[in-house]
Chain A
Amino acid sequence: MRVAIVGVGQTPFSRSCGMSIRELCFEAFREAMEDINLTPKEIDASIICSAPEYDKQRSPSGLISEYLGLTPKPTFYAESICSSSTTGVKVAYSFIKSGLHDVVAVIGFQKMSELSSAEVQERMGRGADIQWETPFGSMMPAGYALYAHAHMQKYGTTEEQLAKVRVKSGKYSVLNPLAMFQRVLTLEECLAARVIASPLKLYDCCANADGASCVIMASEEKAKKITDTPVWVAGIGSASDTLSTTNRTNLAGLTCTIEAAKQAYKMAQIEPKDVDVAEVHDCFTIAEIMAYENLGFCEPGEGGKLIEESQTYIGGKIPVNVDGGLLSKGHPIGATGGSQIRTIVLQLQGRAGKTQVNGAEIGLVHNVGGIGVYGNVIILRR
């Protein structure tokens, strides 16, 4: 029995959404339910995903489930920081595959504007090992910056190659009305931006955002009744790495991505070259370059060259993040994975508009939590 995605939705990602989290989730849910033959009462379970340290609401699952009209069906909460909603998708897949539930809604959200910038930064630092790393002043950009310098040293990757990832992101973001950052950036602007954590500059980093996403999944039998265009989950892999930097064996790539990708490719019985379009976790430009390598789109160390040769643009060897990616869309932590899934589902259904990759049959989603702590790779087929 196969498992399908039957509906996807996403709110615009913005600096400040002007509504409460229940309303934000409702907007994503409404889009996912549009044009499919399904009512809220036919949803057997929901999985709500966010990073709880940003929520004022304790235990948001009950609140969201009620507002979406999903009670008295069971509702669960899934968390793996930035990869929370793909973790939710994996749980939903297991529920459906086991026969426990036939139709499951996965709702990811984050309202980061509830907190001041200082409060957000304080929480970011505590994503590192609070006993041995946070006391020195760690934060998210610094974690990826350590990887960037190690990658540059080992493979000769350049700051210009990093900037080229952001230039690509900007080009596609202006074609995505839901993206927060609606601006084309030149290579010169990216390189001239102020340094946040060397070698990463302002435009090498994604921004905090408000937003929600929704993915509705169903068993094969139910899926065929709900929609004429189901998208099938062909492979799903997950892995973890040490939270502490000191116990990492590789500082020039993410081991959790390599491991999760291996599982997903094996399950889908495909190779990296078979992927037609991909969404990778580009929270920082270096993260996209490492993803090219760790997902097998190129050899280790060749990621800089891949963007240099424009091979990850539409028309290249493997189009990556043609919705603008986290860098331009914004990164409302719990909503990000669901947004990536939505982009790939629209691509495989031929509904991606100006950024459609012609004839896309196989798509890949790569979503990472923390600085390579949690990795999810999902392969979808039409």
Chain B
Amino acid sequence: VRLMSFNMFGKISYISETKVADFVKYMEAGKIMATRCKICGKLYFPPRADCPNDLSEDMAWEELNGKCKLLTYTTLNFAPTGFEDDVPYTLAVAQLEEGVKVYTRLSKDIKEEEIKIGMELKLTPVRLPNGRITYELKKFEP
């Protein structure tokens, strides 16, 4: 497996170096990972390398099952620089089963009239046509 730097994450990345860069490696393997503090047990997503409760960096990676519910959303007809080609797109916040939340795009497979707060979704890694890697919220298929 070719190791990807964190700057391959998302449509446009503004960060290349981070202590949680392995997140991208796990995404390549189809896994979405959180971190858990080995001292206090708190689960972090997006993953953190450091726990402010204990000032500890003793963290373990832990896979999320991706099952989540839509908390809120917005469909943009106007985009910031670099994202113009994607318009319209929908940003969403979802509650994951493990208790943490995620901020990302809703899959274009979901039509605007189908969007309903509370609907079940699945957080899924996605490879972009230019080779970059991201995640999005897809319809939940039991």
Contacts and interface: CB of A to CB of B under 8 A. Distances in A.
Interface of A: 118-119, 121-122, 124-126, 130-139, 141-142, 145-150, 153, 194-200, 244-247, 251
B80 A139 contact: yes
B101 to A, nearest CB: 4
Contacts of B93: 146, 245-246, 251
Interface string B64-90: 000000011111111111110010010
Contact of A135 (B9, B72, B101): B9
How big is the B interface, by class? Answer: 35 or more
B74 A198 contact: yes
Contacts of A251: 71-72, 93
A137 B103 contact: no
A124 B77 CA distance: 16
A246 B13 CA distance: 18
Nearest to B45: A246
A134 B86 CA distance: 14
A198 B80 CA distance: 15
A121 B81 contact: yes
Given A137-B89, A251-B71, A251-B93, A246 B78 contact: no
Contact of A153 (B72, B80, B89): B72
Which are the 9 A-B pairs with shortest beta-carbon distances?
Answer: A135-B10, A145-B74, A122-B81, A125-B80, A137-B83, A150-B72, A130-B14, A246-B101, A132-B46
B74 A131 contact: no
A91 B98 CA distance: 42
Nearest to A205: B78
Contacts of B78: 139, 141, 196-197
A23 B8 CA distance: 44
B46 A244 contact: yes
B72 A147 contact: yes
Nearest to A150: B72
21 contacts: A121-B80, A124-B80, A125-B83, A126-B14, A131-B14, A135-B13, A136-B91, A136-B103, A136-B104, A139-B78, A142-B91, A149-B72, A150-B117, A195-B75, A197-B74, A198-B75, A198-B76, A198-B112, A245-B93, A245-B101, A251-B72
